[in-house]
Amino acid sequence: MAATLLSGELSPVKQQTPTIGPVTEALDQGTIADLPSARISEMNCDELVRVVQNAHLPFLSVEACEHLAFHDRKTLERLANLAQRCCFHRTIRPVGPVGNTTYERQTFDA
């Protein structure tokens, strides 16, 4: 609970959490995969950050996910649309990743 200093006294400040509809219920891979792009464009920045974080995109590090809130809305919308597509492809092909998904540099024997 946050407190503010008003005329020498501490008074509690209630923090309100925004109601965001279906996004607060459960942000699993299936829910994100079913998000229409129109719904993504209606989301506020906090909702977009949660969608991207819960999608577990393979190209975003933990550190990058922690700094998502500092990005502009356009970037967050693009990442949320990528998250939706990644989750959609994971749900239709749950076998496993195809190809090299690591960040290691490939070496070729000559």
* pLDDT at residue 17 in the model: 39
* pLDDT at residue 107 in the model: 64
CB 39 within 8 Å of CB 26:
no
**CA 41/CA 44 separation, integer angstroms:** 8
Task: Give the chain's residues under pLDDT 50.
Answer: 1-24
Stated pTM of the model: 0.61
* pLDDT at residue 79 in the model: 94
* pLDDT at residue 91 in the model: 85
Q: Which of 48, 28, 26 is nearest to 39 (CA)?
A: 48
**DSSP-assigned letter for residue 102:** S
- Can you say whether the dihedral through the CA atoms of 99, 104, 105, 106 is positive or negative? negative
* pLDDT at residue 92 in the model: 84
**CA 23/CA 32 separation, integer angstroms:** 9
Percent of the chain at pLDDT > 70 equals: 61
